[in-house]
């Protein structure tokens, strides 16, 4: 992997901010680390390093995979709820970032507005990793890219159909497709499409990598001849008050056997979890033979280890 990035000078806030070379190098490192763990030969490459983890949104996979990953690499992780910090009493994001930078080697943040993590990264003097914001979920999509690569043998010329809300997952998938040459077709209800600026940038970059990004309001059009079908919950954390309206708007966007019949026979189903069976996906699909959702969840661990290794070792 490239060694031009010095420790403390690089963040991972969005996939779009990293080069295609960096994305592929991290995916390759994730595969190496995964194979090392399977063989029992993994090295403590981040021994003595400390990751601070700030959670303004609760988590299962993000919390456990980052903490376990850091421990497996020989380091340590500190779990910090926003209510436990002076952030909860009005200390500025910038002051908190500068102080914590003196205690830990990297910071992972799971929060609401993307501007918060951007401000944090601007003030911090250690690498900052986006564990999720309302606009982007890059660590999850990196795990998804690794899963697709494993299942389909690569990323070039693979068609991914993303069905549902044009949310943070859709945004990061657009950037991931643009960097890696995937063909991404997003089907979202009118009024719930992904951000137009992110779409435009993705379309432009995808044209250079051999991939494509398209948006439609017709799920069947998106799924036609798809190699991979991806979905997410219809109401994400913080949108609970919109649940009833979203249930109406997303009728017809459920991933079920009828919709999946338009995909290739050997299609793969993915979901970032948690899933609401009977809403965005049926049990027959998520618990069926085409589903790799738990392999996908496992890959959060390996990808995040690779990201931390890259940011903290520069290679």
Residues catalogued as catalytic: 110, 137, 140, 232, 272, 300
Q: Is 139 labeled as ligand-binding?
A: yes
Q: Is 169 labeled as ligand-binding?
A: no
Q: Is 272 labeled as ligand-binding?
A: yes
Q: Is 130 labeled as ligand-binding?
A: no
Q: Is 300 labeled as ligand-binding?
A: yes
Nearest-angstrom CA–CA distance, 47 and 34: 18
Q: Is 86 labeled as ligand-binding?
A: yes
Q: Is 260 labeled as ligand-binding?
A: no
Q: Is 237 labeled as ligand-binding?
A: yes
Q: Is 277 labeled as ligand-binding?
A: no
Q: Is 236 labeled as ligand-binding?
A: yes
Q: Is 246 labeled as ligand-binding?
A: no
Binding residues for carbamoyl phosphate, by number, are: 59-62, 86, 110, 137-140, 272-273, 300
Residue stretches of the annotated binding site for L-ornithine: 168, 232, 236-237
Binding residues: 59-62, 86, 110, 137-140, 168, 232, 236-237, 272-273, 300
């Amino acid at each position: 992997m490239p060694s031009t990035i010095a420790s403390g000078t690089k963040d991972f806030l969005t996939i779009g901010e990293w080069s295609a070379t960096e994305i592929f190098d991290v995916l390759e490192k994730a595969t190496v680390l995964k194979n090392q763990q399977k063989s029992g030969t993994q090295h403590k490459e981040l021994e003595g390093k400390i990751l601070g983890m700030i959670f303004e949104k609760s988590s299962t996979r993000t919390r456990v995979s980052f903490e376990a990953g850091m421990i497996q690499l020989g380091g340590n992780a500190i779990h910090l709820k926003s209510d436990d910090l002076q952030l909860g009493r009005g200390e500025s994001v910038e002051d908190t970032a500068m102080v914590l930078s003196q205690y830990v080697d990297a910071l992972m943040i799971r929060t609401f507005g993307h501007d918060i993590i951007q401000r944090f990264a601007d003030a911090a003097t250690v690498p900052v990793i986006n564990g999720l914001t309302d606009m982007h979920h890059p660590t999850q999509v990196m795990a998804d890219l690794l899963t697709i690569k494993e299942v389909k043998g690569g990323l070039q010329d693979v068609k991914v159909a993303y069905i549902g809300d044009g949310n943070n997952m859709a945004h990061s998938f657009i950037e991931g497709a643009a960097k890696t040459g995937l063909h991404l077709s997003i089907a979202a209800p009118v009024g719930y499409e992904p951000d137009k600026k992110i779409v435009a940038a993705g379309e432009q970059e995808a044209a250079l990598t051999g991939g494509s990004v398209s948006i439609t309001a017709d799920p069947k059009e998106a799924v036609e001849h798809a190699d991979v079908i991806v979905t997410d919950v219809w109401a994400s954390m913080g949108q609970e008050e919109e649940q009833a309206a979203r249930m109406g708007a997303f009728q017809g966007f459920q991933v079920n056997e009828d919709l999946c019949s338009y995909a290739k026979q050997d299609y793969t189903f993915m979901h970032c979890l948690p899933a609401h069976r009977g809403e965005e996906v049926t049990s027959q699909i998520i618990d069926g033979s085409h589903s790799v959702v738990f392999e996908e969840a496992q890959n959060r661990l390996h990808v995040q280890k690779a990201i931390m290794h890259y940011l903290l070792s520069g290679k």
